[in-house]
Structure 1
Amino acid sequence: MKTLEEKIGYSFRDRSLLENALTHSSYANEHRAAGVPSNERLEFLGDSILGLVVADHLYRTRPDLPEGDLTRIRAALVCEGSLVQVAQALDLGSYLKLGKGEDHGGGRARPSIQADAVEAMLAAVYLDGGIGQVRKLIHRLVLDQEQEKTAAGRDYKTALQELVQRENGQVLSYRLTGESGPDHAKVFAMEVLLNDGVIGSGQGRSKKEAEQAAAKAAVLTLEGEAP
């Protein structure tokens, strides 16, 4: 636990909060007789804290953006994929307490479990040190990636639709070209076609994410920004 505290830059006064944040429900269920709590309640609290801190930051620092853009950027910053990146940077999976079945089934690398643990950890810091401490942590782990996520927050499918509609008779469609990876970590590959010709391709953890990636590639090509 001390190593993880060093990674996040915060030392707990009550280390049991951090231990609780890292305890998955599968472990808690196996140790129910001992009264071991899962991190689900902390996850609930952490989700709200993260959303508040990110929304407050964007409101104060981006007066140029309308509500729709702020919403998309916030969604990109607090989404599962963003939190999984945080978890991976901290190697959070290695600290998790999982039930035997979940552990053997690859639970330490499961995106949903990693993302939930990040939210629970944020709640633990909040309860232990207050809003100032968790705000610092969120800025360091999440908001430092804002510039990158601002681009990620753009709705590329809508942007692509607007680009091609400048000419009449243009037809856009998306085509799934492949799936890979285990069930708990699927990767989907998608192509976007304009009048049956491929103009972009991309991958994602869901079909919707893959469509956005393909649309982004197409938008950058049409706007002349492709490498």
Structure 2
Amino acid sequence: MNKMKKAFTTPTSLDRELEPSPVMKESVTAVEKIVGYSFKNKRLLEEALTHPSVPGSASYQRLEVLGDSVLNHAVTNYFFCMADRRKFNQDQITKLRSANAGNLKLARVAVRLGLYPYLRRYNTPVLDDKVKEFIEAVINGEDETGLVHKVLADIVESVAAAIYVDLKFDLDKLWMIFKPLLEPIYTLEDLRGRPMAILHDFCLKNGRRLEIKLKPRDETENISIAGVYVDDVLVGSGSSKGNSNARQNAAKEAVHKLSQSMVVNDGSFEGIPAGNDRSFRIEEAIQMLHVLCVKKRLLKRPDYKEENVLGPPHERKYLYSVKVVTSDGSLQSVKGDEKSRKKCAMNSAAYKMFLALQEYDNMINTIKFYRMTNRKEADRMINTKEADCKIKTKESDSMLGNIASLLYTLGAKAYRVIISLLYF
């Protein structure tokens, strides 16, 4: 019987017992103690601890690519093997993998293990300052979202890859060594309670820009006020006596508000407009907007228009708009984001229109609710002609005050819709 040959073998150049170079000997020895593993080929760890800024030396870049895949594989295996007992589904395993092997988590691991001082680098004062800012934020329990941390995650991935290769690509042995370093391993319950991480993962996955800004401290009230901005749009604010808690409160409000227009499952956004019974990506927005219009029996198809072409020929940016005539005859028009491809720009516009139509439906449903629950009051308004564009609020008439406030908030177009519904 022929013995099956191994498909993957360690390259001869790596499968040797080698000592590190004199300049890296102390760093290699220190990191071996930190991770609890003694390398046979110590040059592997030396490479994992060398930044690309060092001239004439192999950097961690190749190992980082391998380490990224290996850690994702190991974490996936860990939760997959629990699937029969815990019944994790596909989305849950994906979220758990992202939470436990994502860049932000690995960067925190690098801070906790103290790996950055052992990274060999050359003339990187700007990087050092930015990494220091991230490290201080982690140590002080402050929000580190948006701070530079990729290089810290790269170190952890490179060290993991170095161990993996030194173990002759034995994933089980790697996980036995590395799992304690990744503690705590986040569970689904942990994810539900981490609004800051939820926002960060959502924006990273959907290509959104996330900023959390602190406003000047209100010395009178002795509180800090924070705002969460997604693509420069304020989506949540919060306050507290401390900066960290103010950020957390703002993140909680942002998660709550975004969940009104995006489906949330097990603590992470899926990028799906609320109320839709089928998930889709922005890349599928044109098709799904068409399906929605058919479902609503709209007579006209969405009308796309190229609004602008920006940039030089080699860096073109396209901006598209889309118009939809709703069932009541009103015209809805939105512009998408600038994209490098026409179809992507059209999908961006379609996606925003999908959300706009849902917001419009919510407005109509709210109006109908007001009419049904306050039919007598609405009829009295019609009979006395108080609804003839001259609604006057009185402190003693809370219903009229509510409707007037609603009209003021929704604007003139919504006002006409409300009046027509009240009359007919």
Which TM-score bucket, shorter chain as reference?
0.5 to 0.7
Residue number in structure 2 paired with 1:111: 149
Q: Report the equivalent of 1:138.
A: 178
Measure, in 2, the Cα distance between the counterparts of 1:94 and 1:213: 37
Which of 38, 42, 62 matches 2:83?
62
Residue of structure 1 equivalent to 2:163: 125
Structure whose alpha-carbon radius of gyration is higher:
2
Give structure 2 stretches of 5+ with no counterpart.
1-27, 133-147, 199-209, 216-225, 230-234, 240-244, 260-424
Where does the alignment leave 5 or more consecutive residues of structure 1 unmatched? 160-174, 181-187, 205-209, 220-227
TM-score by length of 2: 0.37
Tell me: CA distance 1:80–1:73, structure 2 relative to 1, closer, same or farther (3 Å): same
Amino acid in the other structure paired with 1:178: K
Given the superposition, is the C-alpha separation of residues 72 and 80 from structure 1 closer, same or farther in structure 2, using an over 3 Å criterion? Answer: same
- Post-superposition Cα deviations, 1:183-222, rounded to whole Å, max 9, x if no partner, equal xxxxx8528xxxx996897648xxxxx7468527x99xxx
Name 1:92's counterpart in structure 2.
115
Q: Which has the higher contact order (CA 8 A, sep 6+)?
A: 1
How far 1:80 sits from its partner (Å)? 1.3
Q: Can you list the C-alpha shifts for 1:15-73, whole angstroms capped at 9, x where unaligned?
A: 1111100111112xxx22xxx11110000000010011000111001331111111111
Aligned alpha-carbon RMSD (Å)? 3.9
- The amino acid of 1:50's aligned partner reads L
| d(CA) in 2 for partners of 1:213, 1:62 | 32
Q: CA deviation at 1:154?
A: 7.5
Offset at residue 152 of structure 1 (A): 2.2
Residue 49, structure 1, aligned to residue 70, structure 2? yes
AA at the equivalent of 2:109: V
Q: In structure 2, how many angstroms separate the alpha carbons of the residues matched to 1:197 and 1:91?
A: 34
In 2: Cα distance, 1:5 partner to 1:118 partner: 13
Q: Once the 2 structures are TM-superposed, how far is the Cα of residue 156 of structure 1 from its aligned partner?
A: 6.0
Residue matched to 1:17: 44
Count of paired positions: 181
1:165-180 matches, cutoff 5 A: 178=213
